[in-house]
Structure formats: C-alpha cells, structure tokens
Copies of this chain bind each other. A is one copy, B any other.
Amino acid sequence: MVEMVREDIKPILSPKSIAVIGASRRSGAVGNRIVKNILESGFKGPIYPINPKADKIHGLKCYPSVLKVEGDVDLAVVAVPARIVPEVVEEAGVKGVKGLIVISAGFREIGEEGAKLEKEVLTLCRKYGMRMVGPNCLGVINTSVPMNTTFASSQPIPGSIAFLSQSGALCTAVIDWAPKEGLGFSVIVSLGNSADLNVVDFIEALKEDENTRVIACYIEGISEGDRFVKAVGEVSRKKPVVILKAGLTSMGIRAVSSHTGSMAGSAVAYSTVFKRMGVIQVDSVEDLFNYARAFASQPIPEGRGLAILTNAGGPGIVATDSCEKSGLRLAWLSQETIEKLRAILPEQASVINPVDVLGDASAERYKQALQILLDDPGVNSVIVILTPQAVTQPVETAKAILEVYRSNPKKPILAVFMGGKAVAEAVKILRDNGIPVYEFPEEAVKTVEGMVRYAEYLREPLEQEIPEFERDMDTVRRIIERARLEGRTVLLGPEARLVMKAYGLKVPESGFAQNIRQALAIANKIGYPVALKVVSPHILHKTDVGGIVLNIRSDYELEEAYDSIMRNVAALMPQARIYGVEVQEMVSRGKEVIIGMHRDMQFGPLIMFGLGGIYVNLIKDVSFRLAPIGRKEAYDMITETKAYTLLRGFRGEPPSDIDSVVDTLVRVSRLALDFKEIADLDINPLIVYEKGKNSLALDVKITLSFI
C-alpha cells in the first residue's frame, strides 16, 4: 500500500476502481491492451471498460459511458481520440472520478491547436477537482497495488525502484528491458505532457511510499523550478533521487552580456540545483539504472572507504583505475585486516587493496576474505569481482556472498560477475536476493561513487545558516529606480560600485567626471597614480574598445589619456552614448578572482566563483551555487576551483584573504535575494589581498532585468 502525503494523487497511484474510457475489443488496440494489462497486473478492485459499441471486453461488462457505471470510479484511464477527450473528461468529472490518466496523444506536442485542447482538458480537471497524468503518456504502473494502466506489452517485476519518465518510449523500452536485467519496480509513471501533475508531484508523492527505496527519473525539463527545489530537497533526505536530465541545449541560451551569465547555461543551472537538493545526477540511461539497482537494495555507505575483492589481477586493476577516475580512493586496510587476510589466503595472494584471492579461489575463500574486509572499520563498501576460471565456483560464491551480506547488512556489497553462461545462475541468485550485479568493474565503481556522494549529502546539515548583516537597501533601490526611469538595464560603473558599498563591500576610491576639468579635480583629490575609464551604458567590455587607461601619473598624462579614450570610443563605437569618465585610484595588485550572479529563469539566482582576470572565459575554472548561500557553502565553492590553490598560497606565496572572499560571496547572495530586479552581476576582478587585508571589488557590472 502506498502511504502518501499527497492524498490527491492516491486515486492515481492506488485507486480502488478503474474505468478505461476508450476500451477496445480489437486485439492490439491501445484501449484493449490497457484493460488486459490491468487484468494481468492482478488489480483487485472493479474494472469498468467504457465503450458504447461493446458488451464485453476481456470478459468484463462494458459501459456506454462512465456516467452509466453503478459503483464509484476512482481513476479513469482515457484512450480516446484527442478531440473527444474533453467530452469524456467532463463526463468523468460529473461522475465524480478523482484521478485521470490521459493516454491519448494529439495535444501540446502537435502544436497550437493541440495546446488549446490540452488547456481545455486542464480547465475541466480544475472544475471538477480531478488530478491528471498526461496527456500523451504510456500510463502508470504500481506493482504493490498491483495495477498496470499502461499499454506496454509486458508486466514489470515488482521491486523497489520508482521510475518517472518524461519519455513514454523510454518507459516501454525499460519495461521490456528490465526483466532480463532482474530490475524490479515499485512504480512507473509515464508523465506525458505533464499538463497537470508533473515530475515534482510524483517525487513528492513517493516520499512516504514504503515500497519505493529509490526514485529514478528521466526528465527533459522542469516547469516549476521553485517547487522542485523545495519538494525534492525534502524527499532526497529520505530516499535517493537519481536523475538523468536530457536535453543539454534544449532550453536555448538567452543572450547574455555578463561573464557569469555566459557560463551559467541551463545545464549548469540544473546541475547546481541537483547538487544542492542532494539529487544524484547521472549522464546516461545505463548509469540511471546502475545506480538505481544499488540504491534499491543496498544500504548507504558510511564513508568513502572502498575495498575490492577479486580473483583476477586484470579486473582488479581496471577497478582501481576507475576509482582514480571517479575520484574515489581505495580504503587503506588496517594492519589487523592485512594479517587476517594473510592467514587465510595463499602466499601469492594480494592482501592489500585490491585484495586478490587468486584464480583458484573457492567460495569459502571468497567468504572468509569478504567477512574480514567488512570487519575493517575503514572499509565502508565492498565490490566483489569474479571471473569464471578453471576451478571457480560462481553459484557457491554467490551463496557465500549472500550469507555474509545477511549478517552484515550495514555495508553495501556490489558484485561484478564477469562472463555469460558460466555466471548466469550465480548472477540470478545474487540479484534475486538484493545484491546488485554488474557486468564490468567500471560500472560498480561508478555506482559506489554515486552512493558515497549521496551519503555525504545526507551528512550535511539540513539547514545552512544564512548570515545577516547591515546593509543599505534604500540606496540600492534608488539606483535601480533611476536606471529604470532612464530606460537603462545596465548600471553605470559608479552606480554599481555604490551598490557594492551599500552591501559592505570595498571598492576603489573614484569619482565621475563629465569633462576633463572635473576629471583633473578628482584625480588631484584621490592622488596620482589613477586610472581613467569611459562611462557609457553601451560599452560593456571597456578594454576592447580602448576605453581604459591605467597608471596615469600626472595632470599631463591624464589629459592625454582623456583624449585617447574619447578618440578610441568615437572611432570604434560611434553610436555609444558617453556619459563621461570615471577617475579611479590605481589599486595595488593581488590575486584576481571573479564573483558573479546570474538569475536563472527557472531556479533563481546562481552564485558563481572562479579564477578571475582576462582568463575567466578562457579557463572556465568556476563553481556555482544556488542562492542563498551560507559561509560554509561559500567556502566549499572556493575549494572546488583551482583558484583555491592560488588563494591558499601557491608556490611559496603568502595565503590570501579567503575569509573576505567568503564574505563577498555571502553578500552578493544576499543582494540577489533582496533585489529580484538584478538579472546579472559580475565582480571581475575581485582583487584578493594577503590574509587579513580584505578584498576589493575592482570592476563591477550589474544588469537589470527588463521590466
């Protein structure tokens, strides 16, 4: 039985009675197959085929309309031509049906006309308080009810994987493919067009489903970013959510002028959000089910210590290589473990990780070695590799592994039984009893890495502390208002710096001048050397148009620089409106990093950190987080990049003021939350001085959203 917080989805995932509107007598027809599948799945409640032209379908009494059904109808599965769908949905509403699965295609996916029809159906759902899956989907399966409302040609094996898919074809392929792989499912939902219920609803609904141990999703896009963030974050604390996000470029990339924006594409936004929500992201269908297979039955590892047990050197080396590639490390075995292994293994065996029990290993030898490894507190998971050699006992070894597994249920064990006929029975025994088996070592290692990542997410505190600090929001509001009044979406340099100051960040001393006389006055007030920069809403990359002169040491040089900038800009960007110039103190050198913010349409503000300066777009050494971020997250962002090596003190240089970078990140995150009008922000470079000497936001670009 499905235990749910989402009572509204219960009639769909766990109905008491089902009507099939568009049931058909014709074998092979979708409406025939659905009735057959519901019957074959073993559904225990009443089934009402609806077809005005038939008396009986698969031995069940037929009804001309859902309105003619005597009993209550919890769920209606709709498989009639698209144009009739509104009519039958209205009838379902009148009848008091609670859930709908609309199989029929011919809606949004075919264009404008279909979209209109889809909206019509959705309006009817709202009117009668019905929830809907689809349209344009394969149907829904729940093996614990049991119930199969799809038109797939076979029944999945019961198990503890829930599979949610935005591709119906992938559902049919997986339903057909899974039995030979011994993969079992609790729930399969083909989401179709997700006009009403979408992937977030089902992730949420499956949170408390005791038959589901892992939720595997294939998605191409998400329509409610904020709900996704909230709901999935909660679910993944309770059970792993593994997602294959397809369509790297499907969202299109909107024109962006900031560095941050140009690097924060849709794929980055998704992976940033996934990471934050504890979602295990995979990048192939194969990995999706490799991971799900392990999560479905195995415990979560308590640490990164992986031991490999093998009867062959080659596959052991392959596994070790995979560890290195995936960032895992083999566990260091304790001296005690090594001695215990040595005592039971032949002299030629390798007693350090990977542990090689040799080609003549019996089931008993595997069993003893596995138990010894599991007893080592430094070992958090074990991969057992078997190749079928002359005296290998695959079946007995499988049984031995199971025996050890049953008395050691807290550490995950994954098996790699390489081969075909020689290992087939052993593989079946293991899979039937909850040990995931892989064909190649690489798959198992990658899966353990995914499990370890999830375990680390679970260990992170649920709520991060978002530091509060004083800030001058009024000033920022006024600056934004003025820019909007003037129809500008890019803040001027001086304005951007005022915003920074209002949020407690250090900026270079400077002044705005509309002519050379004003510029000279400001320069003399700041004191030479100074820098001169053009101020124009139309010039974003000042260096590129010769709009910047540095290191000006005298009045004379200032006059020269002023003329040169005006000449360059007039020549290269004659259309640009020039407000004037900015005179700025020349700042001392430090490490250059970039901090940025890009507001993703779907998920909100993404904060970026990375190596700065002119190489930022070249090197792309950046990390992202979804705002708001706390100090710990800001620090983690820094450590993920190579810039961290630089800031820590590279090759004998003194360490930089990392604290002030953390502070800047947190403040930018706060600013992004306070002012939704800010679309993009680049601090490039943020100059970071030696430890204790703060940072300086040298160049700041702030772009506002339209409207």
A residues adjacent to B (C-beta < 8 A): 28, 30, 33, 109-110, 151, 153-154, 165-170, 172-173, 176-181, 218, 220, 244, 246-250, 283-286, 311-315, 317-318, 320-322, 324-325, 348, 359, 387-391, 418-423, 439-443, 541, 543-545, 614-615, 617-619, 621, 642, 645-646, 650-652
- Known: A220-B314, A285-B440, A314-B165. Contact between A388 and B172, CB under 8 A? yes
A151 to B388: give the CA distance in the assembly, Å: 12
Among B247, B348, B423, which residue has its beta carbon within 8 angstroms of that of A176? B423
B-chain residues with CB within 8 Å of residue A387 when the two chains form the complex: 169-170, 172-173
For A545, give the chain B residue with the smallest CB separation.
B652
Inter-chain pairs besides A168-B389, A284-B318, A541-B652, 8 sampled, C-beta below 8 Å: A151-B390, A168-B359, A169-B311, A169-B314, A170-B418, A173-B312, A180-B421, A614-B651
A176 and B422 within 8 A (CB): yes
Beta-carbon contact of B169 and A315 below 8 Å: yes
Please state if B248 and A324 are interface contacts (CB–CB under 8 Å).
yes
- Is the Cβ of A284 less than 8 Å from the Cβ of B440? yes
Chain B residues within 8 Å of A284, by CB: 318, 322, 440, 442
> What's the least CB distance linking A161 to chain B, in Å?
16
Q: How far is the CB of A225 from chain B (nearest CB, A)?
A: 20
Which of these, B173, B321, B419, B619, contacts A621 with CB under 8 Å?
B619
Could you list 21 examples of A-B contacts with CB < 8 Å? A153-B388, A167-B317, A168-B312, A169-B311, A169-B312, A176-B422, A177-B420, A178-B420, A179-B421, A180-B420, A247-B317, A247-B321, A248-B320, A250-B317, A284-B322, A284-B440, A285-B440, A285-B441, A541-B651, A615-B646, A617-B651
A286 and B440 in contact (CB under 8 A), knowing A315-B170, A389-B169?
A: yes
Q: Is the CB of B176 within 8 A of A419?
A: yes
Chain B residues positioned under 8 Å from A439 (CB to CB): 177, 286
Q: Across the interface, do A286 and B442 meet the contact criterion of CB distance under 8 Å?
A: yes
Give complex CA distance A160, B322 in Å. Answer: 29
Residues of chain B within 8 A (CB-CB) of A179 are: 420-421
B285 contacts A442, C-beta separation under 8 Å: yes
C-alpha spacing A64/B176, complex, angstroms: 57
**Distance (whole angstroms) from the CB of A558 to the closest CB of chain B:** 23
Write out the residue numbers on chain B whose beta carbons fall within 8 Å of the beta carbon of A166.
314
Copies of this chain per assembly: 2
Tell me if B173 and A315 are in contact (CB < 8 A): yes
**Bound: A165/B652 CA distance, A:** 46
Output the least CB separation between A641 and chain B (Å).
10
B390→A422 contact, CB < 8 A: no
Q: Please tell me if the beta carbons of A153 and B422 are within 8 angstroms of each other in the complex.
A: yes
A506 CB, min distance to chain B CBs, angstroms = 25
Residues of B within 8 A of A543 (CB): 651-652
Say how far A673's CB is from chain B's closest CB, in angstroms. 32
Beta-carbon contact of A418 and B177 below 8 Å: yes
CB contacts (< 8 Å) of A422 on chain B: these are 153-154, 176
Q: Which of B167, B317, B544, B545 contacts A315 (CB 8 A)?
A: B167
Q: Kindly state the separation between the CA atoms of A254 and B451 in the bound complex, as whole angstroms.
A: 34
Q: Contact: B321 with A246, CB < 8 Å?
A: yes
- In the complex, what's the smallest C-beta–C-beta distance from A4 to chain B, in angstroms? 27
* CB-based contact A173/B110 at 8 Å: no
Cβ A388 vs Cβ B176 within 8 A: yes
Which chain B positions have C-beta within 8 A of A151? 390
* A246-B544 contact given A176-B420, A284-B442, CB 8 Å threshold: no
Query: Which residues of chain B are near A170, meaning CB under 8 Å?
Result: 312, 314-315, 387, 418
- Bound-complex Cα distance A325 to B615 (A): 23
Q: Is the CB of A418 within 8 A of B173?
A: yes
Once bound together, how far apart are the Cα atoms of A311 and B168, in whole Å?
11
Bound CA span A545–B313, Å: 46
A637–B401 Cα distance when bound, in Å, is: 50
Contact partner, A618, options B173, B388, B645, Cβ 8 Å:
B645
Q: In the bound complex, how far is the Cα of B408 from the Cα of A588, in angstroms?
A: 67
In the complex formed, the residue of B with least CB distance to A650 is B618
| A283 engages B642 (CB within 8 Å) | no
Q: Are B172 and A389 in contact (CB under 8 A)?
A: yes
Which residues of B sit under 8 angstroms from A348, Cβ to Cβ? 109-110
In Å, the complex CA distance between A387 and B169 comes to 6
A388 touching B173 by the CB < 8 A rule? Answer: yes
